[in-house]
A and B are shown apart, each in its own frame.
Chain A
Amino acid sequence: MKSRLLPLLISAVAAATLLATAPAFAANECSAGKTLNSDRLTVATGNPAYPPWVMNDAPESGEGFESAVAFAVAERMGFDKSSVDWVRTSFDEAIQPGEKNFDFNLQQYSIKPERLEVVDFSEVYYTTTMAVVVREGTAAADTAATASSLKKLKFGAAAGTSSQPFLEKVLQPEQATLLYDDNADVVAAITANQIDAIVFDLPSALFVSAVQLEGGKLIGQFPVENNEAPDNFGLLMAKGNPLKECVDEAIKSLHEDGTFKDLEATWLADATGAPVIDMDK
């Protein structure tokens, strides 16, 4: 036993010394000393993380919009790809009072004034709107893309997303909305014909209708000028996190040089084809 452990121990010590003496080139002036672990950036996302935000539930790969956004922000802050650690949190872990286990957390968090009382958000990294998905072959599939005809459908949504407050405030469907834990459950419910239509943010709606939901059909997107849309996504941080200014700076520069536009083009489906819903009321 001893003889087998010894070489392991030696190599571990050697590796540790190497790491300790390696030059710290991670972290630029702004972010130095402000991260959870020095010279490393810890980024959190959902468990599981859904496409198109994170492909194959593997944020480390850099594949998927939010994974790519995280790495782009990290790079602007002076962290190369190997200096980024990923952790998973639920929504609840992200908002609990007390120490966080991440520097920032991204899983399509909408920036809302109520939430700002407990956590901080970065500048907006992506703006989207809400969209309606139905299933081919059901009566709802032929619904016109107008608010007055959509109101008659039975809606479902993932609880805790912006979909439910949006339905309540803007569309006001005639029947009570059913709510589910996550996208997978909403898809199960529409497959079982318990609901006619689902409201998602547009990229999720495009993905669900194309991939997750068999016979999924996107009826339309809500006009961005609407008072509840647009839905602004921000990186979630602990209240008063000193890193916020560095993150904001990075996001601004990524907007300015068009990096975010490129990432959108790479990872998010082209939404220009989705008809805009007529808000006649």
Chain B
Amino acid sequence: MSQLSPRKRYEQQERRRSLLIATASLLSVCAALYYFVPKAPGWDAVKRSFFNWPILEKTFPTLLKAFLWDIAIFAWSLPLIMVLALAIALCRNVRKPALFPLRVFGALYTDIFRGVPIILLVYLIGFGVPGLGLSRPWNSPYLWGTVTLVLTYSAYVAEVLRSGIESVHKSQRAASESLGLSEADTMRYVILPQAIRRQVPAMMNFVIALQKDVALLSFIGPVELLRQANVYKSLMANFTPYVGAAIIFLCVTIPATRYADYLLAKQRSVRT
């Protein structure tokens, strides 16, 4: 302690002081909420409808089981999204004049699938395509629901990848060309590794959003977490099952968000 310079000592004091103030402020806000919210005249009714412990206890195990569907749909959708997004991003980046139609296709694709509300696509593809006369199991809502998610999300992720590709400086292309690399090899070995690494934090946002949007598939039949909560809500005329669903979602999204923040911070510190 004694070897600290006066300045260091002062800084340490300041740090302690601000930590103390932050803690006190946080605690007093929590205490005020804890004290005043239950004083509201309707609190008992709200508590009964939203924070009903016996109902949560009764429904939580089934909700957790229904969440397995969300995980499964998420798990098989994510790799497909990444592959298709990469393909679309590459389409938008082709330089050969003869391949210009690919560029048009890429642009149209991202415009359409980012512009149309995802819920419309869920219905259109989830009911519409099987309605054309496909037989089981090829008309499964899981299959066509996944197709919808992949189509929509790959449009968003493709744009992220494209901006990553464009962020790689021109000189890199020129340099690899002068080394004799083909255009495909330049993309594969020089541009993409940098582009993807740079865009990982931005893509994490879509990964988190996808975790929640998986629940949209419940519109076309699958009884996943949100639908199961919805069933309990109607059955018991109580919103507590939704709180249960929120807790489950948060257990996954909060760590994922923090991880994305961590990646962003790491990237920033590398750049500066």
> Is B truly associated with A?
yes
Taking Cβ atoms with an 8 Å cutoff, the residues of A that contact B are 91-92, 95-98, 112, 114-115, 117-119, 156, 159-161, 164-165, 176-181, 185, 188-189, 191-195, 239
Q: A112-B235, A159-B231 are in contact. Are A193 and B48 (CB under 8 A)?
A: no
In the complex, the number of residue pairs spanning A and B with C-beta atoms less than 8 Å apart equals 98
Residues of chain B within 8 A of A192, CB atoms compared? 127-128, 130-131, 139
Interface of B is mostly: helix
Residues of chain B within 8 A of A115, CB atoms compared? 235-237
> Which residue of B49, B220, B227 is within 8 Å of A189 (Cβ)?
B220
Q: A92-B233, A95-B237, A176-B223 are in contact. Are A194 and B130 (CB under 8 A)?
A: yes
Cβ-closest chain B residue relative to A168: B231
Beyond the given A97-B49, A161-B234, A239-B45, could you list 19 further A-B residue pairs with CB under 8 A, ordered by the A residue number? A96-B49, A97-B45, A98-B42, A112-B237, A114-B238, A117-B237, A117-B238, A118-B238, A159-B231, A160-B235, A178-B223, A179-B223, A179-B227, A180-B220, A189-B141, A192-B127, A193-B136, A194-B130, A194-B141
Give the shortest distance, in Å, between B90 (CB) and chain A (any CB).
34
Residues of chain A within 8 A of B48, CB atoms compared? 97, 117-118
Residues of chain A within 8 A of B223, CB atoms compared? 176-179
What are 15 A-B residue pairs whose CB atoms fall within 8 Å in the complex?
A95-B49, A95-B237, A96-B49, A115-B236, A118-B237, A156-B221, A159-B227, A160-B233, A178-B221, A178-B223, A180-B221, A185-B219, A189-B221, A193-B135, A194-B141
Residues of chain B within 8 A of A195, CB atoms compared? 221
Cβ-closest chain A residue relative to B234: A160
Q: Does B222 contact A (CB under 8 A)?
A: yes
Residues of chain A within 8 A of B234, CB atoms compared? 91, 159-161
Within B72-118, the residues touching A (CB, 8 Å) are none
Residues of chain B within 8 A of A165, CB atoms compared? 235
Give the shortest distance, in Å, between A178 (CB) and chain B (any CB).
3
Complex CA–CA separation, A239 to B238 (angstroms):
13
Residues of chain A within 8 A of B163, CB atoms compared? none
Q: Does B186 contact A (CB under 8 A)?
A: no
Cβ-closest chain A residue relative to B43: A97
Complex CA–CA separation, A175 to B130 (angstroms):
19
Residues of chain B within 8 A of A194, CB atoms compared? 127, 130, 136, 139-141, 220-221
Residues of chain B within 8 A of A114, CB atoms compared? 235-238
Q: Does B46 contact A (CB under 8 A)?
A: yes
Residues of chain B within 8 A of A189, CB atoms compared? 127, 141, 220-221
Give the shortest distance, in Å, between A253 (CB) and chain B (any CB).
28
Task: Kindly name the residue among A115, A178, A179, A194 whose own CB sees the greatest number of chain B CB atoms within 10 A.
Answer: A194
**Are A160's CB and B231's CB within 8 A?**
yes
Residues of chain B within 8 A of A91, CB atoms compared? 234
Within B205-240, the residues touching A (CB, 8 Å) are 218-223, 227, 230-231, 233-239
Task: Kindly name the residue among A97, A112, A192, A195 whose own CB sees the greatest number of chain B CB atoms within 10 A.
Answer: A192
**Are A119's CB and B230's CB within 8 A?**
no
Complex CA–CA separation, A250 to B237 (angstroms):
25
